[in-house]
Amino acid sequence: QDQWEEIKPEELTLGQELGSGQFGVVVEGKWREKKVAVKMMKEGFISEEDFKDEAKVTMKLFHCKLVQLYGVCTQRSPICLVFEFMHNGCLSDYLKTRRGRLSPNVMLGMCLDVCEGMAYLESSNFIHRDLAARNCLVSKNNEVKVSDFGMTRFVFDDQYTSSQCSKFPVKWSPPEVLRYSKFSSKSDVWSFGVVMWEVYNEGRFPYENRTNAEVMDSLNAGQRLLMPRLAPKSVHLLMEECWEEKPEDRPTFAVLLHELASLPVELL
């Protein structure tokens, strides 16, 4: 099947606003008895034709650690994307509101969830390009899932897509992306290291007081984010592997998953 699920406007009920992101507003909704999140794409902001083609690819990705896209409603303007509803919102806010209350084991579980979703994307040869805690969502039973995969490619606004610009996620990006826009699963691995850092820093913003330009200079000088106080040494070592200068020196998600899953419990 190479068609996405076309969602009929009459089957979709829209409710209150949940938040707004770079692509437009997200509202709560109901579709076929299921609670859903509906992303209403800002008009003129994405390339609709490319986007429709890509939605077909995205619709084929199924994994319990990925926020599921149920379908697309193209008969309405703006185009709406209909997603699995995630009761506990985005991971960065979830971490912030629970500061001091998350155990190291729960934090490790969050990293494992994200790593599992990413290992699946890696095995599907799909590059996320914008992995960060703000792009992970938390379900009703506190499971973390990866969201917004591959979306940045459809943005026209080069404030997002050029690494020189203000809205580019510089603090989550490896040197080869900042220098040559060379995205790969290994650039996602770098970003995953920053996500682990965010988890163990309870949702703090990486390089809090530094500008993007200062961050680039410090990366070039070989500096990296510091070990989070709450992270076990073994987890910090994995973060550092994710931040190896050369992409080929970084582990794959498959290896990271294995390593995270086999950390000795007594170290935590």
Told to check if 168 binds ligand ADP by CB under 6 A, we report: no
Closest by CA to 242, choosing from 205, 203, 196, 211, is: 196
Site string for ligand ADP, 146-165 (x = CB under 6 A): --x-----------------
Catalytic residue among 2, 93, 130, 157: 130
Closest by CA to 241, choosing from 229, 252, 257, 226, is: 252
Question: Omega of the bond prior to 247 within 30 degrees of 0, cis?
Answer: no
> Which CB, 117 or 251, lies closer to ligand ADP?
117
Told to check if 144 binds ligand ADP by CB under 6 A, we report: no
**Active-site residue flag, 130:** yes
Diameter over CA atoms, the chain:
56
Question: Is 39 flagged in the annotation as binding?
Answer: yes
Contact 224, 241 (CB under 8 A): no
Told to check if 89 binds ligand ADP by CB under 6 A, we report: yes
**Residue 235 parent element (H or E):** helix 233-242
Closest by CA to 41, choosing from 72, 5, 6, is: 72
SS3 state of residue 231 = coil
Told to check if 70 binds ligand ADP by CB under 6 A, we report: no
Q: Which of 22, 47, 74, 161 binds ligand ADP (CB under 6 A)?
A: 22
Q: Which of 26, 112, 230, 254 binds ligand ADP (CB under 6 A)?
A: 26
**Residues annotated in the binding site for ATP, as ranges?**
39
For ligand ADP, the binding residues (CB under 6 A) are 18-23, 26, 37, 39, 67, 83-86, 89-90, 134-135, 137, 148
Residues classed as catalytic: 130
